[in-house]
Structure 1
Amino acid sequence: MPVDKELVIVNDASRDGTRHLLDEVERDPRTVLAGARGRTEIRIFHQPVNRGKGAALHRGFAEASGDVVVVQDADLEYDPMELPGLIEPIRQGQAEVVYGSRFLRGRTGFPFWHTLANRLLTAASNLVTGFRLTDMETCYKVIRADVIKELPLREERFGFEPEVTALLAHHSRRAALRIVERPISYRPRSVKEGKKIGLKDAFRALYCIVRYGAFPPRSRKEAVPHRTLAKP
């Protein structure tokens, strides 16, 4: 993207060689910046213990200094080349939040049961929030930084997706908040490739839809444990 960018990389105490790869990136950032347009700053943070996706995102949001925050998983199930189209509605002043939907283009590559679970969870979330989303569980969430930093996030694992959606709904009731969807592609990983989301995560997501939809944390101080923001 021909804009100034900040890559905030959070290593959630991974034991698969991630630390070694990130050390190489710190020594020579050109390994990940080949062909990049616009100024790009890389900032790397290492969590002391593995806490989960949500905790890593809390850290990333706290450290981010840009105007717009994009969530990107490192497994590249989602194509970073599609990010400019997701950021554009915010840059044009047409929205404060953009969700990338894997369902707007039809085929997703999802197994049947994953598709069913996603659609049921999205429908439940819409019922609670009043949104009309097609893909609440999408990783690709693009949010204005001032909005995401105000949300009292607390979920440290995969409950982040329904939690942040519910909290955005509460935020929109206090201040005008426009949320739109844009179509994206998706290349799902298999369990053999490291896919970790399972049935228990679906039940946790359902709990989070109800919990944060009806009883959101009252403040960031109540929501985010100090340990989540520990320095490297």
Structure 2
Amino acid sequence: MSRSSTPTLSVIVPARNEARNLEIVLPQLPPDAEIVLVDGHSVDDTVAVTRRLRPDAVIVSQGRRGKGNALAHGFAAATGDVIVMFDADGSADAAEIPAFVEALVAGADVAKGTRFAHSDDAGSEDITLLRRLGNAGLNGLANAALRTRYSDLCYGYNAFWRDTVVVLDLPALDLDVPAGSMLWGDGFEIETLLTCRFSLAGLRIAEVASTERERIHGETNLRTFADGVRVLRTLGRECVPGRRRAARRRADAMRAAAPSTDGRVVTSLTAADVAVPTAGTRLAA
């Protein structure tokens, strides 16, 4: 099975009590994309708003709690060639989706958004100084551990070919846990976990310049210190030899089933092969 030069899209939107934001966000998403709304036990009109504005949307009820678990449900429900992770709070710009798709069609397995590329298309209207400093420190640790040159570790705007999901090995959706508990990978550490497992599997990763906008309504669920500790623990857990070997085995299975766009199997990369952000990677809206 070869990858399409005109892939279909599945946009995964995890949402918990985001009805007011979805009123603005949903109309901005591509009309021909599959929208997978993963509802995290909302008590507002999140589901009703989605059904009204995008009656074609796939609506999934989250099993456990946490952003990572919500995304895992979305990945499982997606049917498009390409999966796009998209926050419901208005911080992601839908006009940037073509840039992520362009990077994938050009040969990347994963298109990783970055707010810190040397480009006019990159930036953040929302990040605090404390979060910026924390991200810089964690990003440096990640690059040292993974032997990469990423510019932004903790950013959730990413896209990837659906056939790469196998390398992520996320917690099973049907596992029973105590009420209110989360398994490793269920929380905000998901962005770091994805970066680690994609990198350790040797997939081709391209950074795409992106601007993070301010949340439109409500308050973020991000907890700077607690979630920063989870990110740090993720780096420690993922970068051990056993994890590296497991990631390579999963990647070998993926490559055996999914050639690249030109029919050639993508080979493992060295640090020098990992794409770095450059000006002009973003398509015009």
Q: Same fold (TM over 0.5)?
A: yes
SS at match of 1:128: helix
2:190 partner letter: F
CA deviations on 1:78-135 (whole Å, 9 max, x unpaired) are 101111011101123x211111111114652322111001111111111111221111
**Compared with structure 1, are the counterparts of its residues 57 and 210 closer, same or farther at alpha carbon in structure 2 (3 Å cutoff)?**
same
SS at match of 2:167: coil
1:56 partner letter: A
Counterpart in 1 of 2:197? Answer: 167
Q: CA deviation at 1:42?
A: 2.1
How many residue pairs get aligned? The number is 199
More displaced 10-residue stretch of structure 1: 100-109 or 161-170:
100-109
Q: Is the 8 A contact 2:110 2:204 kept in 1?
A: yes
2:58 partner letter: R
2:133 partner letter: L
1:168 partner letter: F
Q: CA deviation at 1:2?
A: 7.8
Q: Is the 8 A contact 2:47 2:59 kept in 1?
A: no
**Compared with structure 1, are the counterparts of its residues 159 and 166 closer, same or farther at alpha carbon in structure 2 (3 Å cutoff)?**
same
Counterpart in 1 of 2:34? Answer: 6
Counterpart in 2 of 1:132? Answer: 149
Counterparts of 2:132 and 2:85 in 1: how far apart (Å)? 21
Question: Cα RMSD between the aligned structures?
Answer: 2.4
Counterpart in 1 of 2:60? Answer: 45
Q: Does 1:16 align with 2:44?
A: yes
Q: CA deviation at 1:163?
A: 0.8
Q: CA deviation at 1:169?
A: 1.7
Q: Is the 8 A contact 1:136 1:165 kept in 2?
A: yes
Q: Is the 8 A contact 1:99 1:181 kept in 2?
A: yes
Q: Percent of counterpart pairs with the same letter?
A: 30
Q: CA deviation at 1:178?
A: 1.2
Pairing partner for 2:206 from 180, 184, 188: 180
Q: Normalising by the residue count of structure 2, what TM-score does the alignment of the two structures yield? A: 0.64
Give structure 1 stretches of 5+ with no counterpart: 30-40, 220-232
Q: CA deviation at 1:151?
A: 1.7
Give structure 2 stretches of 5+ with no counterpart: 1-28, 172-184, 248-285
SS at match of 1:216: helix
Counterpart in 1 of 2:23? Answer: none
**Compared with structure 1, are the counterparts of its residues 85 and 207 closer, same or farther at alpha carbon in structure 2 (3 Å cutoff)?**
same
